[in-house]
């Protein structure tokens, strides 16, 4: 049995999978509130015990850079180490990858029904002239580089590039780059965030907590009145989720 995990600052999703004719079949998926646990081992052991499954291999996408089989979460007090996870959980093979590397690996396999267009555009090389230029330059059909953005507890970034029929995934911690406002409203929003934090990165803007900050900023600056029912929900629930 294969155990796959998507570890996030807010929630951790675990799934049991099996291989069938070269395809990965997901059998059981559970979601856990990350901050309810002291470490990843505790979450995984809970999941394994619940279903009484023996795991042979596992891979976890974790929220932070992975170096020599180790990682430290950027939004959680968790430390990950492949050898320690293997020992503590009695799983022979454990692999850690950056969470956006895991996400990016799946993107080329998405089907048309999985996609939703946020902003219409014209793909590079969609014209006859562009296609000719692409073929001559060896740059492909406009699908050689895929950018991956994943707003969550923070802002994950990665990209997929293709060369000679092979795909390469590049991890990135670009969400920690300084936020650069480009309009008067964005400048005011930056100043609003700067009054709360020592440093304002894109993590503070394009994320679950960031959306809450945008909403609060627009409300406090009188951009629009707040509906009473929404005010009640935000007061009673966790707006970052």
User: Each residue of 53-88: pLDDT tens digit?
Assistant: 999 999 999 999 999 999 999 889 999 999 999 999
Q: Please give the pLDDT value at position 21.
A: 87
Q: Please give the pLDDT value at position 178.
A: 97
The β-bridge relationship of strands 155-163 and 145-151 is antiparallel
Q: Please give the pLDDT value at position 193.
A: 97
| Number of neighbours of residue 12 by Cβ within 10 angstroms | 27
Q: Please give the pLDDT value at position 24.
A: 86
| pTM across the whole model | 0.77
Let me know: does 47 contact 81? Beta carbons within 8 Å.
no
- Give me the sign of the Cα torsion angle 171, 176, 177, 179: positive
Q: Please give the pLDDT value at position 153.
A: 87
Low-confidence ranges of the chain (pLDDT < 70): 123-143, 238-241
User: Each residue of 150-170: pLDDT tens digit?
Assistant: 998 889 999 999 888 888 999
Going along the chain from its start, the domains and CATH numbers come out as 2-107 (3.30.420.40), 184-236 (no CATH)
Q: Please give the pLDDT value at position 60.
A: 98
Q: Please give the pLDDT value at position 135.
A: 37
């Amino acid at each position: 049995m294969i155990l796959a995990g998507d570890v996030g600052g807010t929630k951790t999703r675990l799934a049991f999978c099996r291989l069938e004719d070269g395809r990965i079949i997901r059998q059981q998926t559970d979601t856990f509130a990350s901050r309810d646990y002291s470490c990843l081992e505790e979450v995984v052991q809970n999941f394994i015990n619940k279903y009484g499954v023996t795991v042979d291999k596992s891979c976890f996408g974790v929220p932070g850079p992975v170096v020599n089989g180790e990682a430290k979460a950027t939004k959680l007090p968790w430390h990950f180490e492949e050898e320690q996870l293997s020992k503590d959980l009695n799983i022979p093979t454990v692999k850690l990858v950056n969470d956006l590397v895991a996400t990016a690996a799946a993107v080329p396999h998405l089907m048309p029904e999985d996609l939703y267009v946020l902003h219409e555009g014209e793909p590079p090389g969609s014209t006859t002239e562009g296609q000719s230029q692409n073929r001559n330059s060896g740059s492909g059909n406009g699908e050689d580089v895929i950018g991956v953005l994943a707003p969550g507890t923070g802002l994950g970034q990665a990209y997929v590039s293709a060369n000679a029929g092979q795909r390469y995934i590049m991890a990135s911690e670009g969400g920690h780059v300084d936020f650069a406002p480009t309009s008067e409203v964005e400048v005011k929003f930056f100043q609003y965030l700067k009054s709360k934090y020592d440093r304002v990165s894109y993590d503070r803007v394009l994320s679950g907590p960031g959306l809450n900050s945008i909403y609060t900023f627009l409300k406090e600056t009188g951009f629009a009145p707040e509906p009473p029912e929404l005010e009640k929900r935000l007061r009673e629930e966790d707006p970052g989720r």
